[in-house]
Structure 1
Amino acid sequence: MRALDLTYMLDLLPVLLSYVPLTLFMAVVGMVVALLLASVMAVERVFQVPVLDAFVRLFISFFRGTPLLVQLFLFYYGLPQMLPFLTGINGVTATIMGLTLHFSAYMAESIRGAILGVDRSQWEAAQAVGMTQGQMMRKIILPQATRVAAPTLVNYFIDMIKSTSLAFTLGVTELMGATQKEAAGSFLYFEAFLVVAAIYWVIVEALSWAQRRLEIYLNKAHAR
């Protein structure tokens, strides 16, 4: 059994770290847009707007029921064949689209559950003082639902960061794609993937720490 090439691993670390910003960029943009889309869908699912509700149900069912990798291929390889004006779409854009729509479907259900978990007395009190549905959701219901949904949404963000590793299948040289190339050039696959695993691990642990701090803060604010 050969020993680990520690020198190679140390030399590889700064190379791979230079691709972390792209990985985080795709995840952050995907998360922001997914959160907005999921919030809209969650509110719609609560009020069940005629016709629109059927479309939202279908959307959630499709993106939760099919693998993310298949969705990425649909956006990158399939859509340009059906819609010629999308032939210029690049791997980064396709990845962000895939991450956004895939995770928004899951997040919508989590947010919907958090909204429905708000005590009915809060809904009745808001209606009693004459609030419109929009005012009630914005000022009373959503702030309370946020405290419940926040930990789950952070978990989705962590999953999204790890899922960016699929972008290399679309030719994107992000963290995982760079690792593949470096490993193929050196044939030191174990060392290369061990380094990238450590990078992902550190990122996830940092977010997990932030998640715990967020939970403490939200619980304290709620206790006041």
Structure 2
Amino acid sequence: MLLLPTTSSDKKEFPWWLAVAIAIAVAVAIFIVSNDIYSQVFQTVAKGIGITVFVTLVGFSLASLLGLGIALMGLSNSVWLRQVARFYVEIIRGIPILVLLFWIAFVGAPAFVAGWNALTAPLQDAGLISPLQVRDVSLLWRAIMALTIGYSAFISEVFRAGIQSVDAGQIEAAKALGLTRYQRFRLVILPQAIRTILPPLGNDFVAMVKDSSLVSVLGVADITQMGKVYASGSFRFFETYSMVAYIYLILTVGLSLALRGLERKLRRQHA
């Protein structure tokens, strides 16, 4: 007799992995509070949480907007827009995020400053504005722009797949009702596509939380950078990087659970 594996729809399993993870997290938290060394390490490293959250939220929001624009270009009726979108996606996806981070920080930013000064030269000569210096472009925003550009290529593919998953008959029916292109997208396409888009988009969001640690190579004071500074001064590498890993796990697992809850809520609403 062939026994088929039980799926989640047949039987709802108790999340033992989550119970174990919570127990470990609570035990570690109690240990941190009761241990002076780990408590000091945590207080130092935790100062970078704000920067990590800021970089992730701003970078992901901008990447989503840019990715949506690239996806719409790739689905447009213009062959030129489609080719430009495909060129952007394939080129950006082929560059490692760390390399893109260095390029934006040390090549793109100086090029932007030179272009800006060239365009605003008449205003500068008239004394209306001052010349822009490379140091005026903060390393924090250079890092955010690098993450925005890097992730927009991946997010655009998520949006494209979600939009294309909507049945063509739905779109034709919306056209027959006289809805404009914007109305079709807002009222028909997006509400249906979001169920396909949300899971991979959530994965990209969690991935950006982790990849935000790359901004530490520019000296941005995120969680990883605060850990590097503390470890280099105290030589407590085990304690410091264990604490860095702990904080990132709390952030990423918490986000993953929140996204799963949102997915279940949307599934129930459209059931």
Q: Which residue number corresponds to residue 95 of structure 1?
A: 143
Equivalent-residue separation in structure 2 for 1:139 and 1:97 (angstroms):
31
- 2:211 is aligned with 1:182: no
Aligned-pair CA distance for 1:181: 0.6
Do 2:44 and 2:227's aligned partners in 1 also have CA atoms closer than 8 Å? no
Q: Which runs of 5+ in 1 are unaligned?
A: none
Moved more, 54-63 or 68-77: 54-63
Equivalent-residue separation in structure 2 for 1:39 and 1:147 (angstroms):
16
- 2:202 is aligned with 1:154: yes
Do 1:46 and 1:112's aligned partners in 2 also have CA atoms closer than 8 Å? yes
Q: Which residue number corresponds to residue 20 of structure 1?
A: 49
Aligned-pair CA distance for 1:134: 2.1
Q: What TM-score does the superposition give when structure 2 sets the normalisation length?
A: 0.77
One-letter amino acid matched to 2:88: F
Do 1:114 and 1:146's aligned partners in 2 also have CA atoms closer than 8 Å? yes
Please point out which of 151, 159, 172 is paired with 1:111: 159
- 2:67 is aligned with 1:35: no
Aligned-pair CA distance for 1:15: 1.6
Q: What TM-score does the superposition give when structure 1 sets the normalisation length?
A: 0.92
Matched residue SS, 1:118: coil
Render the CA deviation track for 1:4-58: whole Å, top value 9, x for unaligned: x953222111221121011100100011111111112112212242322222211
Q: Which runs of 5+ in 2 are unaligned?
A: 1-31, 117-132
Moved more, 52-61 or 95-104: 52-61
Moved more, 190-199 or 145-154: 145-154
One-letter amino acid matched to 1:175: I
One-letter amino acid matched to 2:64: L
Q: How does 1:159-178 map to 2 (within 5 A)?
A: 159-178=207-226
Q: Which residue number corresponds to residue 84 of structure 2?
A: 55
Aligned-pair CA distance for 1:144: 1.0
Equivalent-residue separation in structure 2 for 1:57 and 1:90 (angstroms):
31
Q: Which residue number corresponds to residue 71 of structure 1?
A: 100
Greater Cα radius of gyration, structure 1 or 2:
2
In 2 relative to 1, CA 202–37 (structure 1 residues): closer, same or farther, beyond 3 Å? same
Do 2:47 and 2:226's aligned partners in 1 also have CA atoms closer than 8 Å? no
Matched residue SS, 2:137: coil
Render the CA deviation track for 1:155-182: whole Å, top value 9, x for unaligned: 1111111111111111212110110010
One-letter amino acid matched to 2:83: A
Do 1:76 and 1:90's aligned partners in 2 also have CA atoms closer than 8 Å? no
Equivalent-residue separation in structure 2 for 1:160 and 1:106 (angstroms):
11
Matched residue SS, 1:218: helix
Equivalent-residue separation in structure 2 for 1:52 and 1:114 (angstroms):
19
Equivalent-residue separation in structure 1 for 2:70 and 2:85 (angstroms):
7
Matched residue SS, 1:161: helix
Matched residue SS, 2:75: helix
**What is the number of residues matched between the two proteins?**
219
Equivalent-residue separation in structure 2 for 1:9 and 1:59 (angstroms):
45
Instruction: Give the superposed CA RMSD.
Output: 1.6
